[in-house]
């Protein structure tokens, strides 16, 4: 059984589960803070999607949105998590929440071995629409793509894969945020 510690975000009094994995403490759910400034949304503008899957943020907002004493992880910090759970080839399987992902003949269900509870919150595209709910989860990192001011690294998990993948994502896309403790 996973041992969770609970964090109360003093900005809006929302309570988040957190979990220690290896040497790091991670939020065990996607951030759902609605900032007064910046660019964020609920999937399909439906508040109930934010309650379940957290908000989707552009990269600039993601970099300043974590509660005090927490921050958006860098690519290197994500890699520490990857190593702690046994490597990239099974990271998705071991971190995905077990019941929210698409289930069909192509599915590779998660086992949530570490209590990270990765959710398929989808993403927001440049066209203003949202895509991929139940099928994919994208999470921002602070790390920018070298020689490309418009892109940053995001971590991706899909319903049909056991692995996790790095993507080069346009900073204007809207994606989930997982914060890591300072």
Cα 14 to Cα 11, 24, 34, 149, 177: the distances in Å are 8, 22, 11, 33, 15
Q: Note the pLDDT tens digit of each residue in 113-154.
A: 999 999 999 999 999 999 999 999 999 999 999 999 999 999
Q: If pLDDT is split at 50, 70 and 90, which confidence band does 2 have?
A: confident
Q: Note the pLDDT tens digit of each residue in 88-120.
A: 999 999 999 999 999 999 999 999 999 999 999
Q: Check if the beta carbon of residue 29 is closer than 8 Å to that of residue 16.
A: yes
Its domain, for residue 115, covers 5-181
Sheet with 5-8, side-by-side order of all strands = 5-8, 15-21, 24-27, 180-181, 70-71
Domain count of the fold of the chain: 1
**What's the whole-model pTM score?**
0.96
- Please state, rounded to an integer, the average pLDDT across all residues of the chain: 96
State yes or no: pLDDT of 1 exceeds 70.
no
Work out the average pLDDT over 3-21. Answer: 96
> Looking at residue 118, what DSSP letter applies?
B
The count of other CB atoms within 10 Å of the CB of residue 33 is 21
């Amino acid at each position: 059984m996973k041992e969770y510690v609970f964090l109360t975000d003093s900005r809006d009094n929302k309570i988040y589960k957190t979990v220690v994995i290896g040497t790091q403490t991670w939020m065990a759910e996607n951030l759902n803070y609605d900032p007064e400034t910046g660019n964020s949304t609920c999937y399909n503008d439906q508040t109930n999607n934010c309650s379940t899957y957290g908000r989707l943020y552009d990269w600039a907002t993601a970099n300043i949105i974590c509660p005090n004493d927490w921050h958006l992880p860098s690519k290197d910090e994500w890699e520490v998590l990857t190593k702690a759970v046994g490597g990239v080839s099974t990271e998705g399987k071991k971190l995905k929440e077990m019941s929210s992902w698409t289930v069909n003949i192509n599915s590779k269900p998660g086992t949530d071995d570490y209590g990270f509870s990765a959710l398929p919150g989808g993403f927001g595209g440049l066209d203003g629409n949202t895509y991929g709910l139940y099928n994919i989860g994208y999470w921002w990192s602070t790390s920018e793509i070298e020689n490309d001011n418009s892109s940053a690294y995001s971590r991706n998990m899909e319903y049909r894969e056991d692995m996790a993948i790095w993507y080069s994502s346009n900073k204007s896309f809207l994606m989930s945020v997982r914060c890591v403790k300072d």
